[in-house]
Amino acid sequence: MMIPSNPAKIKAVLFDWDMTLGAALGDVSTVERTSALLRHVGLSYTHDLIEAARQERHARIETGRLPGPLAPQTKQGLIVYYQQLLELLGHPEALPEVAEEIYNAYAHLPFVFYPDTLPALQALAGQGLRLAIITNHSPAIRPVIEASLGEFIQPQHILISGELDLYKPDRAIFVEGAARLETPAERCLYVGDNLEVDASGAVEAGGYACGLWCDRSNQPAPEKLPPGVQRITELSQVLDWVDSRG
């Protein structure tokens, strides 16, 4: 990992929430997480059925038989995603209202931090870095974030797309995050698990100094990353990008 020559210029670190700081239900597969989410709203399907529906949805989008995207980021996109999934599961009433209930229910699944999360936040806060969250999530996640990270992040520094009707990688949500921290975008660092939406979006759209792609898969790094983007595999590496003088 290449370390910048001027880390002291970083004044603020902003984070994604889900799959960056932790995950709903912890270290489980996407199918297990989806199964638990559906059970939370009273729908029960086997893992095999859910996986088959996910694969069929992927195939239909790839061949133009269903509208995409494959991995939606907006509330409306996720509602459509859950509708598509329910229809492929044979649910008799795959209505937008049912899909919206599932969208909101995701925030109520137990959230488990990765082991490196709280130590990294504590170290960054100890160095005087300004910290914030920008997450593409339902407003229902706010009490969860405030209760678990209130020691490090003030409520006004928690930006939730469902409250603002702004979604990463929209430039406006990154600009708003920097503004709330009263920090120029060029002195901000963003950390997230999605290469395009988080790391690249923060740099290309938001004008941040750097986007750190937190890739916990530990797979070989791509040969080339977008300008201003670097790959890390654990949050302790964020500390390499900042300095107590920052």
Instruction: Write the pLDDT tens digit of every residue in 208-229.
Output: 999 999 999 878 878 899 999 9
Confirm whether 154 is domain-assigned. yes
The answer on 168 and 228 residing in a single domain is: yes
User: Domain range for residue 15?
Assistant: 7-24+110-241
- Say what the pLDDT of residue 241 is: 80
The answer on 128 and 89 residing in a single domain is: no
Task: Please give the sequence-ordered ranges of beta strands (E in DSSP) within the chain, or none if there are none.
Answer: 12-15, 22-24, 111-113, 130-135, 158-160, 188-192, 210-214, 229-232
The answer on 183 and 120 residing in a single domain is: yes
- Say what the pLDDT of residue 243 is: 60
- Say what the pLDDT of residue 129 is: 95
The answer on 83 and 18 residing in a single domain is: no
pTM for the model stands at 0.92
- Peptide bond between residue 222 and the one before it cis (omega within 30 degrees of 0): no
What DSSP designation does 3 have? P
pLDDT at 207 over 70: yes
The answer on 157 and 89 residing in a single domain is: no
Q: How many domains does the chain have?
A: 2
Tell me which of 108, 127, 144 is where a domain ends: 108
Confirm whether 1 is domain-assigned. no
Instruction: Quote the distance between the C-alpha of residue 205 and its chain's center.
Output: 16
Confirm whether 71 is domain-assigned. yes
The answer on 187 and 75 residing in a single domain is: no
